[in-house]
Amino acid sequence: MTTSEIQTEEKIKILKGLEIAYEKLLEFKKMKNSELVVLRDNKIVKIKPE
């Protein structure tokens, strides 16, 4: 394997891990019925996860 192929595989694994973490965060916020704080258009916004 070349360095480029290894980096591509690692990138895919990292992105998949981030997606799983985001899904778990939303699941937790729904369970606790708490707001999710995000940055939209350079403003901090609190939203309810649905």
The model's confidence at residue 39, banded by pLDDT at 50, 70 and 90, is very high
CB proximity list for 50: less than 8 A, separation 6 or greater: 30
21 membership: H or E segment, kind and range: helix 3-32
Angle CA 36–23–50, to nearest 5: 50
The pLDDT score that the predictor gives to residue 50 is 78
Domain total in the chain: 1
- For residues 50 and 34, give the distance between their C-alpha atoms in angstroms, rounded to a whole number: 11
Check whether 10 has a pLDDT greater than 90.
yes
- The residue segments making up the domain with residue 40 are 3-47
For residue 6, give Cα distances in angstroms to 10, 17, 35. 6, 17, 38
